[in-house]
Amino acid sequence: MDAMTPMPVLRPWIADVALMRPDGARPVVHLPDAATALVYRRTGDRDGDLRVVGPRSRATYNPGKDLPMCVRARLRPGAARPLLGVPAVELRDRAVPLTDLWGDRAARLEDRLNELAGPDAILRAIEHALLDGLHGGPDGGADGGADARDLLLREAVESLSTTGERVAALARRLSVSERHLRDLFTDRVGLPPKRFARIQRVRTVLARAGSAQWAGLASDTGYYDQSHMTADFHALMGVSPAAFSAGRLPASTPCAA
Break the chain into its structural domains and give their ranges.
Answer: 2-136
pLDDT single digits (tens) 95-121: 999 999 999 999 999 999 999 989 999
Q: Give residue-wise pLDDT tens across range 211-221.
A: 778 999 999 88
Q: CA-CA-CA-CA torsion for 1, 49, 236, 182, nearest 10 degrees? A: 110
> Quick one: what percent of the chain has pLDDT higher than 70?
94
For the chain, give the mean pLDDT.
Answer: 90
- Cα separation of 132 and 126, whole Å? 10
Which pLDDT value is given to residue 46? Answer: 83
Distance CA 154, CA 149 (A): 9
Report the pLDDT averaged over residues 131-155.
Answer: 70
pLDDT at 146: 60
Distance CA 174, CA 185 (A): 14
Instruction: Tell me the average pLDDT across 145-153.
Output: 80
What is the reported pLDDT for 164?
A: 77
The more confident residue out of 255 and 153 is 153
* pLDDT score, position 133: 80
Average pLDDT of the residues in 164-171 = 90
Q: Which CATH architecture has domain 2-136?
A: Sandwich (2.60)
* Pairwise pLDDT comparison (38 vs 143), residue with the higher score: 38
Residue 73 banded pLDDT, cuts 50, 70, 90: very high
Query: What pLDDT, on the 0 to 100 scale, is given for residue 95?
Result: 95
Measured between alpha carbons, how far is residue 44 from residues 70, 115, 126, 185 in Å? 11, 11, 19, 38
The predicted pLDDT at position 142 comes to: 46
* Beta carbons within 8 Å of 239's beta carbon, 6+ residues apart: 248, 249, 250
pLDDT tens readout for residues 184-241: 999 999 999 999 999 999 999 999 988 778 999 999 888 999 999 999 999 999 999 9
